[in-house]
Amino acid sequence: MGVHSLMVQDECVCPDTVKMESVLLLGAGLMTTAFVAVVLLSPSTLVDDDWEIVDVCLGSEHSSNPIVAHYHPTIKIFLDGSEVNIAANIGIDDTSCDGMRGIHTHDATGKLHVETPSTMDAPVGAFFEIWGETFNENQILNSVVDEDSEVVMYVNGELNDEYQNYVMQDGDVIEIHYRDKED
């Protein structure tokens, strides 16, 4: 009798257990598919850069902080060999600040003004966030890397792979290129 009851249990397929396993596997599959889609379609959405300098607003009626740091890197952007104009007054009197943001432009030369009320980093990506544009190893502005193209960045003539996380220094010349891949 004891052997027979074990056989019945081994042969018994419990519908509730099978149903639960199927639901869990289906859910796991859907979550994996959704994660892969997010990574492939928009890799920058997984980046959570929280740069202190993005929140700096100088010269507004709400700011009484003196400027402690003031220096000037330059950014140049090239899409397929053509230089892109970086507009004047990026980060000045915008929707987030009635004054000057911690990184801003005054003219269309690509010269950035980094001005802060305390010592803080000024990553390249913070300027692009203030500008409302995208820059990372997979995209510059609306140009997205594919199997035939790449984004490369040079700082003072040297290849640099820090992309949006590179902390700018006074006098830096930063060139960002979207181009065909070099073999």
pTM: 0.72
Which two three-digit tokens encode residue 34?
Answer: 């959704």
pLDDT at 151 over 60: yes
Other Cβ atoms less than 10 A from the Cβ of 65: the count is 13
Question: What pLDDT does residue 42 have?
Answer: 47
Per-residue pLDDT tens digits for 90-116: 999 999 899 999 999 999 999 999 999
- pLDDT over 70 at 48, yes or no: no
Structure tokens at 72: 């000037």
Alpha-carbon distances of 63 from 47, 87, 96, 98, rounded to whole Å:
30, 25, 13, 10
Which percentage of the chain shows pLDDT scores above 70?
Answer: 73
Mean pLDDT of the chain: 84
Write down the CATH number for the domain with range 49-180: 2.170.130.30
Q: Where are the domains of the chain?
A: 2-41, 49-180
Residue 137 pLDDT more than 80? yes
